[in-house]
C-alpha cells in the first residue's frame, strides 16, 4: 500500500505532486506530508462479505490486525502486526476490549474507554507506540513527537510513549481548558522523554502550532518531527477495527448498522467512513457536536464558518478546525489535490468554506449532523442515568443524544461511541446525576502526584525552544 498527500498529488497532473508516495512505515514516522497535506491510501482496500464473516468470533486484537493489514501492506510483516495488536490490547480493562452495551431497543453504545488513560485514544495509541518502537528499531532512528490535545490525546500519547528509548514527546494543551483529571493525567508523568506545555490559547492554536512546526522544514528535520494526532494516518487505521467489531457483533455483513460519533477533529468518524468505504454495511453516520458546531452547520447549510472556540462540558470537542475534514474533502473532490489545497488555504485565509452544491449534497448523503449544547448534554446524562442507570461522560452523551435524534431507520441498530470514562469529568457528572464517578484504583492518587509543565504563549519560537530543550536533554 502506498500513500499520497491530500495536497500534493492530483490524479490528472501527477507530476505536480510535491510529496512523494510513501509506504505505511514512512507515513507513520512522517506524520504530516511535507506539503502540509494529510496522507491518504492510494487505493481503498475492499473486504467482501466472506472476508467480513471470516472475522466473526475472533478476539478483538486479531480483528484489529486483519483490518489494519491492507493499510500496513508490506511495510510490517503480518505476524509482527498481530503481535503488536495482541500486546497492545492485553492490558485493557475489559476482556472484550471495546464492549457493546445495549441502552434501549435498537440503540447500543460501544465503550472505547477501557484502555490505560480511559478514553478512546488508547485504542489507537497503544498500537502506535509499539509501531513506532518496531519501525524506529528497524531503521535505527529516533523521532520527536509533538502533539496537540484538547484533553485526551495527550495522556494517551504520553502513556504510549513514556520511557521509550527512541522517542521524545512534547504535548501542547490549551491552558485551563481541559478537565483537571485530564491535565493531571499528562502532567504527572515525569519520565525524562516527556514534556508538557500549557499554551495560552485554544486547542486550535495548539494544533496550528504543531502544523507550523512541520512547515518549518529546518526544525522538522533537525528534531526529526513526528505526529500522533489523527493527522497521522496510522491513528485512523487503528480506529477502524472497533467499528468492524461492533458491526459484526450486530450481524454485519448480513445486516446494516448505523454509527453515531461525538466529533471534534473528525478522526473518529472518518475511521467509520473508511470502514464503510472498505465494504462494511454502514447505513448512516452521525456527527455529534457540542456548541462548537462548525461541522453541524456545514452539514445543515453548507456553512463552514469559524467562530471563537467556546468552552463546554465536553472540552475534548472544543474545536473549530477539524483536521481530518481535509481527508473527506479530498474524497468529495474526487481526489483533486490542487482543489483540496486551494479550498483549505482559502478556508484558513477567510475563516469560511462553502463547497459546490453537488459536493455538499454528496456530503449530506454520507453524514448527518447534530448539535447539543451544555444544558442538553447535562439533561441527556441525567436522562440516561435515570432511564437505565448508565453513566455516560459528556462526550459520549452527545453521541447518544445524536443517535436518538435520528429518524427511525427501518430496524437498523445504531451504535453510539462512548469515547471517555465518566470519571474523567467528575464535576459534570456530579452536577447531572449527583454521582461522582471514582477513578480506577491505579489512578486513585492522581491528585497527590507532582505535576510538571510550562505555561507558554501561543508563539512558535517559544514552542520550538521548549522542544529543542527536551530533545537536547535526552540526546547528549
Ligand X SMILES: Cc1ncc(COP(=O)(O)O)c(C=O)c1O
Ligand Y SMILES: N[C@@H](CCOP(=O)(O)O)C(=O)O
Q: Could you give the residue numbers annotated as active site?
A: 121
If the CB atoms of residues 248 and 417 are measured against ligand Y, the closer one turns out to be 417
CB 5 within 8 A of CB 35: yes
User: Could you say which residues in the range 393-412 bind ligand Y, by CB under 6 A?
Assistant: none
| Cell, residue 363 | 456530503
Q: Which of 53, 47, 45 is nearest to 249 (CA)?
A: 53
Nearest approach, Cβ of residue 167 and ligand X (Å): 21
Nearest approach, Cβ of residue 79 and ligand Y (Å): 29
Q: Say what angle helices 294-301 and 357-366 make with each other, to 10 degrees.
A: 120
Residue 263 interacting with ligand X (CB under 6 A)? yes
Give the binding-site size for ligand Y (rule: CB under 6 A): 12
Using CA atoms, how far apart are residues 359 and 66, in angstroms rounded to an integer? Answer: 33
Selected range binding ligand Y among 146-154, 326-334, 353-361, 369-377, rule: CB under 6 A: 146-154
- Give the number of other Cβ atoms within 10 Å of residue 407's Cβ: 7
Residues 82, 153, 246, 377: which binds ligand Y (CB under 6 A)? 153
H or E, element range at 414: strand 414-418
DSSP 146-214: EEE-SSSHHHHHHHHHTT-TTEEEEEEEETT-S-HHHHHHHHT---TTEEEEEEES-HHHHHHHHHHHH
| Binder of residue 420, out of ligand Y, ligand X, none (CB less than 5 to 8 A by kind) | ligand X
Residue 267 interacting with ligand X (CB under 6 A)? yes
Using CA atoms, how far apart are residues 288 and 76, in angstroms rounded to an integer? Answer: 35
CB 126 within 8 A of CB 151: no
If the CB atoms of residues 114 and 385 are measured against ligand Y, the closer one turns out to be 114
User: Could you say which residues in the range 288-347 bind ligand Y, by CB under 6 A?
Assistant: 316
Peptide bond just before 380 cis, omega within 30 deg: no
Residue 317 interacting with ligand X (CB under 6 A)? yes
Selected range binding ligand X among 3-11, 261-269, 329-337, 437-445, rule: CB under 6 A: 261-269
Residue 150 interacting with ligand Y (CB under 6 A)? yes
Nearest approach, Cβ of residue 2 and ligand Y (Å): 23
User: Could you say which residues in the range 243-272 bind ligand Y, by CB under 6 A?
Assistant: 264-265, 267
Selected range binding ligand X among 215-223, 266-274, 362-370, 402-410, rule: CB under 6 A: 266-274
CA 49 to chain centre: 27
Residue 149 interacting with ligand Y (CB under 6 A)? yes
What residues line the site for ligand X (CB under 6 A)?
A: 119, 151-152, 230, 262-268, 316-317, 395, 419-420
Amino acid at each position: 500500500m502506498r500513500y499520497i498527500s491530500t495536497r500534493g498529488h492530483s490524479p490528472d497532473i501527477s507530476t505536480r505532486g510535491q510529496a512523494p508516495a510513501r509506504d505505511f512505515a514512512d507515513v507513520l514516522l512522517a506524520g504530516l506530508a511535507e506539503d502540509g497535506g494529510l496522507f491518504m491510501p492510494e487505493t481503498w482496500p475492499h473486504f467482501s462479505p466472506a472476508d467480513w464473516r471470516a472475522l466473526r468470533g475472533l478476539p478483538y486484537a486479531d480483528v484489529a490486525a486483519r483490518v489494519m493489514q491492507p493499510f500496513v501492506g508490506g511495510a510490517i510483516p503480518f505476524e509482527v502486526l498481530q503481535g503488536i495488536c495482541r500486546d497492545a490490547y492485553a492490558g485493557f480493562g475489559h476482556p472484550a476490549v471495546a464492549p457493546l452495551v445495549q441502552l434501549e431497543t435498537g440503540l447500543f453504545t460501544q465503550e472505547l474507554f477501557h484502555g490505560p488513560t480511559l478514553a478512546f485514544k488508547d485504542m489507537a495509541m497503544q498500537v502506535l507506540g509499539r509501531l513506532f518502537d518496531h519501525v524506529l528499531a528497524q531503521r535505527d532512528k529516533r523521532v520527536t513527537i509533538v502533539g496537540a490535545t484538547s484533553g485526551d490525546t495527550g495522556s494517551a500519547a504520553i502513556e504510549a510513549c513514556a520511557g521509550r528509548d527512541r522517542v521524545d514527546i512534547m504535548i501542547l494543551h490549551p491552558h485551563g481548558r481541559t478537565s483537571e483529571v485530564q491535565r493531571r493525567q499528562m502532567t504527572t508523568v515525569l519520565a525524562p522523554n516527556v514534556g508538557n506545555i500549557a499554551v495560552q490559547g485554544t486547542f486550535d492554536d495548539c494544533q496550528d502550532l504543531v502544523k507550523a512546526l512541520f512547515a518549518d522544514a529546518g526544525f522538522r528535520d533537525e528534531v526529526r518531527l513526528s505526529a500522533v494526532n489523527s493527522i497521522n494516518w496510522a491513528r485512523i487505521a487503528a480506529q477502524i477495527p472497533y467499528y468492524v467489531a461492533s458491526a459484526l457483533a450486530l450481524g454485519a455483513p448480513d445486516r446494516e448498522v448505523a454509527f453515531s460519533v461525538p466529533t471534534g477533529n473528525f478522526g473518529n468518524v472518518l475511521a467509520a467512513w473508511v470502514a464503510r468505504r472498505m465494504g462494511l454495511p454502514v447505513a448512516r453516520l452521525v456527527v455529534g457536536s457540542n456548541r462548537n458546531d462548525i461541522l453541524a452547520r456545514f452539514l445543515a447549510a453548507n456553512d463552514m464558518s469559524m467562530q471563537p472556540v467556546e468552552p463546554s462540558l465536553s472540552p475534548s470537542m472544543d474545536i473549530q478546525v477539524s483536521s481530518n475534514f481535509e481527508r473527506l474533502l479530498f474524497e468529495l473532490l474526487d481526489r483533486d489535490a490542487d482543489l483540496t489545497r486551494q479550498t483549505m488555504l482559502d478556508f484558513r485565509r477567510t475563516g469560511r468554506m462553502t463547497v459546490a452544491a453537488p459536493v455538499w449534497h454528496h456530503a449530506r448523503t454520507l453524514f448527518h449532523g447534530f448539535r447539543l449544547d451544555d444544558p442538553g448534554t447535562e439533561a441527556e446524562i441525567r436522562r440516561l442515568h435515570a432511564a437505565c442507570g448508565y453513566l455516560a461522560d459528556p462526550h459520549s452523551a452527545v453521541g447518544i443524544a445524536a443517535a436518538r435524534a435520528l429518524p427511525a431507520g427501518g430496524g437498523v441498530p445504531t451504535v453510539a461511541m462512548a469515547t471517555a470514562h465518566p470519571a474523567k469529568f467528575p464535576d459534570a457528572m456530579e452536577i447531572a446525576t449527583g454521582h461522582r464517578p471514582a477513578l480506577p484504583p491505579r489512578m486513585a492518587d492522581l491528585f497527590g502526584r507532582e505535576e510538571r509543565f510550562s505555561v507558554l504563549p501561543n508563539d512558535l519560537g517559544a514552542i520550538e525552544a521548549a522542544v529543542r530543550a527536551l530533545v537536547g536533554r535526552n540526546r547528549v
